[in-house]
Amino acid sequence: MGMMQKIMTWMRGVARKIRADTGMTTSEYAVGTIAACAFAAVLYKVVTSAPVMAQLQSLLKGALDAKF
């Protein structure tokens, strides 16, 4: 078997392994979902905090009172 054939055989094996491992498993989906929910909860707490709400309200008031 020539060197080029060995390389091609190796490359086919690698490609086969890559195709066989597609997508996430159920446990990976579960961990990803939990992480996304935790991030959403932290973001919600930050956005609904008093200082952030005051800044958002002043920003919105300034945008609505803008003179054109």
Question: What's the whole-number mean pLDDT along residues 42-66?
Answer: 91
Is residue 52 situated within a structural domain? yes
| 56 contacts: CB under 8 Å, gap ≥ 6 | 47
Q: Is residue 54 domain-resident?
A: yes
pLDDT for the residue numbered 21: 54
Structural domains counted in the chain:
1
Question: What range defines the domain where residue 58 resides?
Answer: 25-68
Q: pLDDT-derived band of residue 24, with 50, 70 and 90 as boundaries? A: low
CA distance 11 to 50: 58
Tell me, yes or no, whether 41 lies in a domain. Answer: yes
- pTM value is 0.50
